[in-house]
Structure 1
Amino acid sequence: MKLFDVFVKESANKVFIGLVTGVITGITFSLLIPLVLIALDAPDAELQEVVPETINWLRLEVTNPVLAVVFFATCTFIIVLKTFSQSLMASVALNAASNLRLSIYRRINSAPIAQIESVGQSKLVSIVTGDIPRIIAGVSAIPDLIISLMSVLGVLAFMAFISFETFLFILATIFFGLVTYQVPLIIGQRHYARARPIYDKLHESIRGIIFGAKELKLNEEKRETFYKEDLESLELQIRKKEKSGFILMQGANNYGDLISFLAVGVVTFIISNYITLSHAQLVGVVMALIYMISPIHSILQCLPLISVGNVSMGRLNWLLSNLQEETLQSTQEKAPEWQKIHLKNVCYDYNLGAKGKDKFQLGPVNLTLSKGEVTFIVGGNGSGKSTLSKMITQHYLPSAGAIYFDNVPVDDANRASYRHTITSIYSDYYLFNRILGYKDSEVDTIVSDYLLELGLAEKVTVQNGHFSTISLSDGQKRRLALLVALLEDRELYVFDEWAADQDPSFKDTFYKHYLPQLRDQGKAVVVITHDDRYFDLADKVVWMESGNVSRISMSDVIKTDKYRSEDEKLGTA
């Protein structure tokens, strides 16, 4: 997709009308010059045969009243038509910009989680907050560019009518100016293009200085190193490249202005000696050239914005090519009732590092999860616990094998329906400031009861589904996330280290109250955890190691092992 495509795609008809009115405006502008020349050069006797040389109007003496009326009527027509053209084109540009942002939001919203994680949060934020505004600025500059271009073409047509030889010289001058203008413009554009990837790194470093502030405060050497190498260094690189790009582009603009004035000087002092021009023709050409300075300047002002916009459009196209929409069949149908989830020879492959490094593979995994059952998934870091859980929740799609809900395989036709039966709280969860999907204010009563139960009533209140604050500790945020999950009343619950930030009392409440409660309600519950002292509360524990299920322990075995361990401790004592 190109920058102009964004503009035309929005409304080809309106763009066409804008172009036509722009052409008419430019041509009409050029008519002002001969009107003025006729008024200045026409003999008084010729005018007096039609109307008196001057008339009094509102105590003002008006010379050549007919031409004056035509002149001011033309000016009024130009104002109205140009305002209409600009308003129409600006409306298209604003609509295109807004729809572009919405399409990016929609693409991110509908892209697979694996692709979003592959692109990276920093790059996504950089493109949305940095490149999209530049694209919008470039798109918004197109209407002014078109109108100014039409004005220049109208004046050139007038020049061709006055003196074709002079017109050819001016055309050659403009062509030479635009070609040579492109040289610093292209170089400046490359400097901006080289600065954009550095912005991605800078966004990541900004996240580091905000979210890693506690760690940096404890080590002055680490803090200074991070500042120097990850913030100051990147800022200096960006500053250098964008300064160079700005200087080159600004120089190109000034050069464009100078070309216009040089053309005036060459026509006035040189070309007039080689081409036979009457005084009126020379005055007309010079007036036309002076008039062209403003629209040419406008064109040169727009070109850098469009040029930078094209750089950002290239990055946006890269993003779109790396964020494909999920091929899901959108359906409002409920998933059929199910009792068990079967993972049969399920595998997942993805590259953990740069090209050429070893790939990490999960599986093949064979596992069954049942409603009315609590399953713990345990293992060391990098054992594949989170990857397995994301496959269970249908965030990751198997590279081999299949997942079944009862005897129905999950595919693009039913994946969305089955997702609607699942809720999860991952370690990197995001807490929204309101309860999405609930508009009934009666939900406030239920939420208030949960807030009291979870020890949040003194911190948070709810009104029409909106929380009064989410500025809470990590443990309190997780409890609020649990509240939202419980409110959704889904059939499968997945918790990724939910209790990691909880104090002992709420940790006990989670394992001994909420998990049994969900099980008693007939929910399937999957918990990723390291809390081995609660393992006996699970119906089964799945042990992960190097991407594979190493063993599965059932509840009776877990309890026997726990009691044996406690007896051994007592015997030792």
Structure 2
Amino acid sequence: MEKLTLFSFFKFKLALPMLTLFTIISSLWSTALISIINNKISGAPMPFFEGYDWQIFVFVALTSFLFTYYFKLHIVKITLNFGKDMMLKIINTLRLSDYESYLRLGEAKIRTAMEDIGTLEDIPETFISLLNALVMAIVTIAYMFYLYPPGAFMIIGIVVVLSSIYAYTSSIIEKNMDEERDLEDSFMDNYNDFIHGFNKIKMSTKRSNSIFFDFMKKNREKGVSLMIKSQKAALGNDVLGEFSFNLLIASILFIMPVVFTVDRGVISGFMFAVLFLIGPITALIGLIPGVIAFNIAISRLNKFTEITTSKFNYEKLSKDLTDDLGSFEKLTINEVTYEYLDEKEDKISFTLQPASLEVSKGEVIFIYGGNGSGKSTFINILSGLCLQKTGEIFFNDTLITNENRKFYRNKLSCIFSNNYLFSENYDGFDLTESNEEFVELLKEMKLDEVIRKNEEENKVHQDLSSGQKKRLALIYSLLEDKDIFVFDEWAAEQDPEFRKYFYQNIIPGLKNKGKTVIAITHDDAYYQYCDRLIKFDYGHMHEIEEKLLGVHSF
């Protein structure tokens, strides 16, 4: 994605020409307004249009109103399309990225990017208000030059000094807001840990105190401190704004008559101009915090784009799901390795040692090992989610590469330990009563009286326990009817009765259909139902001797 700027919103069709026309009309309206009011107050006739002052006023006001309405309507369309395009670009970027890049990026940064897009959707409206106020200010200053150039230079000098002070305090606000956003990202990470890991927090007083006092409380205290600093600077700007008008009025009333030889008409004209400036200057001051927020959002989105562009690996996906891998006969995993890096990505925290495995059609393979032993890493490589550092994977006799890995993944149906059920039926399964297979599977999984089906939208409501969700995930997996089934601790959340049913009925049923099953499990009471048993230990793979497995009950 190209680098964003504040003007990115106005690169759409007709946006810049209309913006130019809007500026011209706003200038004409401001000029006409100042001229008509001043001439009415002073009793002087309108130049060039003597006797048509109210007609000119109505014409310019009506023209400005109509064009402003249609211009803002056009900008609304631009805004909505810009937000839509940005959001879809980010989602598509993530969709095409590899799994490891996605995990390194993290959920918090993705959510922040989406929030930043929402912030940027206010740019056009704010920019129009900013432009309107700026045009009125410029026209008013031009009117001062028309009245008396030396006095106008004096006023500009004062405005420049005050603006410099205002710009400095605004930079402090922007810096504090940017830092506060970093703290907000960290806080959301802590908050997600708190929500998703609440049971673990309750199990350790040390952990509970640490997440609250050392992280969340400390984060919020620092965040509030920064916000107070920002508010102090913002209040200073507000007071400066009020003081500025007093200073300008004092300059006109007390300094101009002394420094310059001017009559009362010039003084009253300058007083009128300054009073007329109050509105646009106040508007400009009020819009500055929004502009600061826009700059921060743009900066963060550009950083997000830089990360996803320079550090992401991408895959080529297409709507064409056909492949030339053929029907599954065997899977060969040859000396694959993998390395996990720490958060700074400069040290290796875990290494999967060279692992090899050959899987034939119809085999049932169980994998077990302690936490951090490498079994889930191996499954992620086997399933095509993670790319091995060294080694090769062959589907039948075809080497799996970046070009065909998407087709390889389509051959596998996986239920991971952190299984998630989608809110919509993205796979397009027939989840209605007319699908006899689905109805029978619901009965087999004892979900037929639990599931609430939505026939009209072809989906089911998922107010289920964790074990029931795993069973529904298994139904979806069976409906996929893939060649290879991968289960990561599927039975861990099932009651003893259904756990037994899984090993004694479901897995043998798949084997009898010629399906291949690879399952991570610690249910050693059921190891007799696999053909081969694999153990992982500190990154090393070991195949357990067949005589230790017991008798098959297939």
> If the length of structure 1 is used for normalisation, what is the TM-score?
0.85
Q: Does structure 1 residue 350 correspond to structure 2 residue 335?
A: no
- Give the equivalent residue in structure 2 for 1:35: 36
Contact 2:169 2:233 survives alignment (8 Å)? yes
> What is aligned with 2:259?
274
Q: Could you say which residue in structure 1 is the equivalent of 2:171? A: 186
CA shift for structure 1 position 427: 1.2
Count of aligned pairs between the two proteins: 541
The aligned counterpart of 1:451 is 442
Alignment correspondent of 2:492: 500
Cα offset, 1:331, TM superposition? 5.1
Pick one of 93, 99, 102 that aligns with 2:85.
99
Give the C-alpha shift of residue 357 in structure 1.
Answer: 4.1
Specify which of 281, 286, 294 is matched with residue 301 of structure 1. 286
Residues 342 and 196 (structure 1), Cα distance of their counterparts in 2 relative to 1, 3 Å cut = same
Q: CA deviation at 1:282?
A: 3.5
Amino acid in the other structure paired with 1:91: K
User: Match of 1:461?
Assistant: 452
Amino acid at match of 1:67: D
Question: How far off is 1:414 after superposition?
Answer: 2.0
Aligned to 1:315: 300
User: Counterpart in 2 of 1:110?
Assistant: 96
The offset of 1:261, in angstroms, is 4.4
- Per the alignment, residue 396 of structure 1 pairs with 386
1:561 to 2:551 alignment: no
Are the structure 2 counterparts of residues 511 and 21 from structure 1 closer, same or farther at C-alpha, using a change threshold of 3 Å? same
1:536 aligned onto 2:541 = no
Partners in 2 of 1:283 and 1:83 — Cα distance? 34
| Cα distance change on mapping 1:497 and 1:74 into 2, 3 Å | same
Kindly provide the CA deviation profile for residues 251-271 of structure 1, in whole angstroms up to 9, marking residues without a partner as x.
Answer: 324423432442233123322
Q: 1:168 to 1:384 in 2, by over 3 A?
A: same
Report 1:114-513 matches (<5 A): 114-129=100-115, 131-138=116-123, 140-217=125-202, 223=208, 226-323=211-308, 324=312, 326-330=314-318, 332-336=320-324, 337=326, 338-352=328-342, 354=344, 357-438=347-428, 442=432, 445=435, 446-464=437-455, 468-513=460-505
One-letter code of the match for 2:183? I
Deviates more, 1:337-346 or 1:425-434: 337-346
TM superposition shift of 1:5 = 4.7
Equivalent position SS for 1:517? helix
For the residues of structure 2 that align with 1:154 and 1:412, how far apart are their CA atoms? 61
* TM-superposition CA deviations, 1:154-201 (whole Å, max 9, x none): 333333333332332333333222221111111122212222222223
Deviates more, 1:169-178 or 1:390-399: 169-178
**Equivalents in 1 of 2:351, 2:205: separation in Å?**
40
Cα separation, 1, equivalents of 2:25 and 2:514: 73
Q: Note the C-alpha offset of 1:439.
A: 7.0
Residues 362 and 547, structure 1, Cα contact 8 Å, conserved in 2: yes
- Structure 1 residue runs of 5 or longer lacking an equivalent are 52-63, 565-573
Counterpart secondary structure, 1:203: helix
- Which amino acid counterpart does residue 28 of structure 1 have in structure 2? W
Letter in 1 for 2:4: K
* 1:294, distance to aligned residue in structure 2 (A): 1.9
Deviations 1:294-340 (A, max 9, x none): 22222222222221232233333333333336132535041221422
Deviation at 1:354, TM superposition (A): 4.6
Letter paired with 1:13:
L
Query: For residues 388 and 452 of structure 1, what CA distance do their matches in structure 2 show?
Result: 34
- State the alpha-carbon separation in 2 of the partners of residues 444 and 208 from structure 1: 43
Q: State the shift of 1:140 in Å.
A: 4.9
* 1:415-470 deviations in Å (ceiling 9; x for gaps): 22222222211111211133223275647644333222211223212223655532
Aligned CA distance change for structure 1 residues 366 and 5 (closer, same or farther; 3 Å): farther
The one-letter amino acid paired with 1:203 is M
SS of equivalent residue, structure 1 residue 383? coil
Distance, in Å, in 2 between the alignment partners of 1:244 and 1:91 is 37
Which whole-Å CA distance do the structure 1 matches of 2:196 and 2:28 have between them? Answer: 59
Q: Deviations over 1:389-418 (max 9, x none)?
A: 111221111222332222222223222222
Q: Comparing 184-193 with 148-157, which one deviates more in the overlay?
A: 148-157
Distance 1:483 1:196, change over 3 A: same
Task: After TM superposition, give the deviation of residue 223 of structure 1 in Å.
Answer: 4.3
TM-score after normalising by structure 2? 0.88
Q: CA deviation at 1:497?
A: 0.8
Give the AA of the match of 2:72: Q
- Is the CA contact (8 Å cut-off) linking 1:375 and 1:525 kept in structure 2? yes
1:220, distance to aligned residue in structure 2 (A): 6.4
Residue equivalent to 2:18: 17
Cα separation, partners in 2 of 1:25 and 1:529, compared to 1, 3 Å: same
2: distance between equivalents of 1:477 and 1:441? 16
- Segments of 5+ residues of structure 2 without an aligned counterpart are none
Q: Displacement, 1:14?
A: 0.9
Question: What is the CA distance between 1:496 and its match in structure 2?
Answer: 0.9
8 Å CA contact 1:23–1:154 kept in 2: the answer is: no
What whole-Å deviation, never above 9, does each CA across 1:4-29 have from its counterpart, x for those lacking one? 154234x1631441243124213321
Determine the C-alpha separation between the residues in 1 that align with 2:460 and 2:475: 15
Q: Contact 2:417 / 2:489 at 8 angstroms: preserved in 1?
A: yes
Change (3 A) 1:42 1:204: closer
Q: Work out the CA distance in 2 between the residues paired with 1:119 and 1:499.
A: 31
CA gap of 1:544–1:434, structure 2 versus 1, over 3 A, is same
Deviation by residue 1:223-270 (Cα, 9 ceiling, x = unmatched): 455433333332222222122223313432442343244223312332
Q: Kindly provide the CA deviation profile for residues 269-307 of structure 1, in whole angstroms up to 9, marking residues without a partner as x.
A: 322443344544433333232222222222222222221
Conserved in 2, the CA contact under 8 Å of 1:332 and 1:417?
no
- What is the Cα-based RMSD across aligned positions, in Å? 3.0
Report if the CA contact (8 A) 1:340-1:368 is conserved. yes
**Corresponding residue for 1:72?**
58
Q: CA deviation at 1:472?
A: 2.1
User: Relative to 1, partners in 2 of residues 1:441 and 1:470: Cα closer, same or farther, differing over 3 Å?
Assistant: closer
Equivalent position SS for 1:298: helix
Higher mean displacement: 399-408 or 350-359: 350-359
Cα distance, 1:508 vs structure 2: 1.7
Listed one character per residue, the Cα deviations across residues 200-239 of structure 1 (whole Å, up to 9, x for unaligned) are: 2322332233233344456667645543333333222222
Do the aligned partners of residues 444 and 301 (structure 1) sit closer, same or farther apart at CA in structure 2, a change above 3 Å counting? farther
